[in-house]
Amino acid sequence: MESAVKALLSNHILVSAVLAWAAAQIIKTVLVYRKTKELDLERLFGSGGMPSSHTAFVVAMATAAAMVEGLASSTFALSFILASIVMYDAAGVRQAAGQQARVLNRLIKQLRSEHILPERELKELLGHTPLEVLAGAVLGFLIAYNLA
């Protein structure tokens, strides 16, 4: 068991990605606390917000793969492709889904005054603005680069 933990902790690609994700989640939590003066632990594990933790995770992975295995490696190629898909999804599809959830929540709120509807609201903070994705990418790159 000790050798497995040691092997995982010596994996620069994995450690870079996980640290970038954790840093992004902590930054999100701190930024929300500074804005609202309330500790929202959902921000520590939830999606959406500044910076994109998904983007930080995959950009750190791709950066570390480039540094460890080289730009010509299959590991870097796969990491780069995955990072591209995740960033596109975060700023495109999931951002649009969050906007749709906001509209639906407003409609449901209006309908509740006339009808009995469930109190459950749709999650609105799903995706990211391009700036949140960019911030996640910069964070992921810097963490992987500085761990090298």
The Cβ of residue 109 has, within 10 Å, a number of other Cβ atoms equal to 11
What is the reported pLDDT for 121? 66
Q: Are 57 and 15 in contact (CB under 8 A)?
A: no
Q: What is the pLDDT of residues 47-86, one digit of tens each?
A: 778 899 999 999 999 999 999 999 999 999 999 999 999 9
**Global confidence as pTM:** 0.77
Q: How far is CA 82 from CA 85, 91, 105, 110, 130, in A?
A: 5, 14, 32, 40, 17
Decide if pLDDT at 89 tops 70. yes
Among 49, 53, 66, 70, smallest CA distance to 18 is for 53
- Percent of the chain scoring above 90 in pLDDT: 53
> Cβ-count burial of 65 within 10 angstroms (0-12 exposed, 13-18 middle, 19+ buried)?
buried
Cα–Cα nearest to 31, from 106, 131, 124, 105: 131
